[in-house]
Amino acid sequence: MASGEAPPEITDSVRQQASDLGWEDGLIDRALAQGHALQVILGALQTNVGGAQAKAFLDQERSNPSLDWMTAPTEWGVRGTPSDAEMGLQIGDVMVGSYGEIPDVWTNRTEIARGSHPAEGQEDMGYTIFEKAIVWTDSAPSLYERAIRDRWAAATDLGWRSLEALPDEIERAICQLLTEQSERAYAEATVLGRWLPEISYGFVEVKLFLGSVIYDLGRHAEAFRKRALANGGGLGLQAPSHFIRGAIEARTFPELMAYLFVQDSTLLTLFGAAQDFAQNQLERDLYRFVAADRERIMEYQIDRLSSFLEKLPDRRAEQNRYLRKAEVRLAREWRDAAVSEPLALLLGGGEQGLAAGGAALTQLRRRQIEEYLAHLESAGFTRERLHSGLAAYLEGEPGA
């Protein structure tokens, strides 16, 4: 009922009908005062809504709005200003005042948005990661924005109609390589997805970035699978799962990140060098897109590890143990014929060039190890003793 409007007239017959249904005196007037139209009230009477039910319905409503929420003691008058005209308003641009303060330990166990005022009685959401040093990097906001800006679609950004038939041995090698890589991307996305709910909402920028990583990895799995099935080939042998099994079994986020650091680094190098074994423009574009996505992932890995070691220097020895475990599993997988031989065949140009391709693969593995160690150095971490199965590549021989 609009302010200043006369209340509708309630006839005696309507009041008698309400009384017969057990509506207490004044209940109709109360319903009108709470804003219910006469037609709604008449409808309730016609459908024989009892007095107790009608009263219970009105009791659960507030007759007058309190507007208490308008007095929440949060910082007000904040204006986020785009710092980059091309990028627009970014997450980092609204990390101002109290909203940009990231505590070293986040104490709220609910899903409260950082900076909002807590409400009483909210439920524990089951988070287990509350220390900033475990997950945080100052680059997370910009990494997220770049991931959103640079997204690509496998269906439309790759020239599928340009594919032409390849020699059978080459097509089989490509399909085996991409069967493996599709499985690796999917598995990494899955294991990260399991950990995302563990990170408390106070570190929302990290959660957003890791969400974009999971999306990127899912797109990689999609694109690799499509290429394997788009040119007269098919999927190959299942990839070994020793490495990802270790990541799945990680008991803590730092252990998981150590495993993924090894894989993310070596795969970044692999796709960065993929122009050496790409067979056509579609594959060159695909590997270039994937390498760009993995550069962001690696940037987070390096920044997170650097910050982690700065805040928790006593955990360096622990990191060495985790990295060694990951290196052992990686070396084992690199020795697998289904992992090494397709790459050697592609690098050598076919079965006749397998010997030359094997030598080229050894050089690629050496580069992967060198860049992995360089990534660790960028994070301020020197590997105490590289696992022998990987160290052998630095001497020009596959690991034993």
Domains defined for the chain, CATH in brackets: 12-56 (no CATH), 132-394 (1.10.620.20)
* pLDDT level of residue 129 (50, 70, 90 thresholds): very high
pLDDT surpassing 60 at residue 4 = no
CB 363 within 8 A of CB 269: no
Residue 100 CA to residue 112 CA, distance in Å, equals 15
Give the largest CA-CA distance in the chain.
Answer: 103
For helices 337-348 and 168-195, the axis angle rounded to 10 degrees is 130
Closest by alpha carbon to 386, among 302, 306, 266, 271?
Answer: 266
Per-residue model confidence (pLDDT) at position 399: 46
**pLDDT class for 400, splitting at 50, 70, 90?**
very low
Q: What pLDDT score does 64 carry?
A: 63
Q: Tell me the average pLDDT of the chain.
A: 93
Q: Cα dist. 353→164, 339, 362 in Å? A: 22, 17, 14
Rounded mean pLDDT, 131-146: 97
Which string of b and e fits 141-167 if b means at least 16 CB within 10 Å?
bbbbbbbeeeebebeeebeeeebeebe
What is the pLDDT at residue 398? 67
Mean pLDDT of 242-256: 96
> Residue-wise over 37-61: b if at least 16 C-beta within 10 A, else e?
ebeebeebbeeebeeeebbeeeeee
Given this model, what pLDDT does residue 397 score? Answer: 67
User: CA-to-CA distance for 171 and 192, rounded, in angstroms?
Assistant: 31
On whether the CB atoms of residues 292 and 150 are closer than 8 A, the answer is yes
- What would the pLDDT profile of 48-76 be if each residue is shown by its tens digit? 989 888 888 887 765 566 778 888 899 99
| DSSP assignment string, 111-167 | -PPTTSPPPTTPPP----B-BHHHH--TTHHHHHHHHHHT---HHHHS-GGG-----
pLDDT attached to residue 121: 86
Lowest mean pLDDT, pick from 6-15, 162-171, 182-191, 335-344: 6-15
Read off the pLDDT of each residue in 217-233 and give the average, rounded to a whole number.
Answer: 98
Q: Which of 39-43, 154-158, 318-322 is predicted least confidently?
A: 39-43
Residue 84, SS3 per DSSP? strand
Distance CA 277, CA 178 (A): 12
Looking at the predicted structure, is the pLDDT value of residue 38 above 90? no
* End-to-end Cα spacing for the chain: 84
- pLDDT at res. 1: 52
Tell me the mean pLDDT in the region 124-144.
Answer: 96
| Whole-number Å distance between alpha carbons of 384 and 303 | 20
